[in-house]
Amino acid sequence: MEKIKVVIADDHRILRIGIKALLENEPEIEIVTEADDAHHLHTILKKQVVDVILMDIDLGNSNGVVLTREIKQLYPDISILALTQHEEHDLILAMLDAGANGYLIKNCSREELVASIFAVVKGEKYFSQGVSAALIRVLNNSRKKSTVTSESVLTDREKEVIGLIAQELSNQKIAEKLFISVRTVDTHRRNIMEKIQARNTAGLVKYAMENGLL
């Protein structure tokens, strides 16, 4: 089995060393290199096949949110896991809006770090427990402000699909659960996003929670 190729993007060398040490004995993960700023990371991606980037939000003179958006536009198949000390909900939502596949706080365990890498490689979203709690709080607070109801917008099947998306299931798993094709799930996802004017998965999750579809 081919190893999952991971890049650590962090401007603190001692943290890169620590993260590398946590993962070096994991047989299915390979730390291919490290980057300490945006220029370095872009240079690496032009030459090296990468599956997952562990991305700090504070990256020297770079902004991890902006960098995530750039990389997702250039390399949409690369999974990006935010690995940062920030727990503010606005930064969490900004990273998800930029295309990040998951969000971890730097005090996470080795087991959680490994699990998150495996999850995003399979096309799933991954949030550490504290991050999930922060998202739930902000989405619940905004629920009262919602003026569009799911009943008036989505079909019953679309409600099922968005509910499963909000549970962080991949398109493949949604297809298996609903006994439909992955292509059909993709079509439902596009139709839902157009109907509720969501730009990404974070918008779908927010809508599902605001409208009681979980």
Question: What mean pLDDT do residues 138-157 have?
Answer: 60
Q: What is the CATH number of the domain that holds 186?
A: 1.10.10.10
pLDDT of residue 150: 46
Region of poorest pLDDT, from 11-15, 67-71, 120-124, 203-207: 203-207
Residue 72 lies in a domain: yes
Domain limits for position 155:
144-210
Question: What mean pLDDT do residues 191-208 have?
Answer: 83
Cβ atoms 208, 154 nearer than 8 A: no
pLDDT of residue 77: 94
Distance from C-alpha of 190 to C-alpha of 112, rounded to nearest angstrom: 31
Same domain assignment for residues 119 and 35? yes
Question: What mean pLDDT do residues 16-37 have?
Answer: 93
> Per residue in 84-105, pLDDT tens?
988 887 788 888 888 999 999 8
Count structural domains, the chain. 2
Same domain assignment for residues 77 and 122? yes
> Per residue in 109-141, pLDDT tens?
899 999 999 999 998 888 887 676 666 665 555
Same domain assignment for residues 10 and 53? yes
> Per residue in 30-70, pLDDT tens?
999 999 999 999 999 999 999 999 999 988 778 899 999 99
pLDDT band at 151 (very low <50, low <70, confident <90, very high): very low
Chosen domain end from 93, 128, 163: 128
Q: Is the pLDDT of residue 22 over 50?
A: yes
Residue 134 lies in a domain: no
Residue 38 lies in a domain: yes
Residue 139 lies in a domain: no
Q: What is the CATH number of the domain that holds 20?
A: 3.40.50.2300
> Per residue in 163-182, pLDDT tens?
898 887 888 999 999 999 98
Same domain assignment for residues 36 and 86? yes
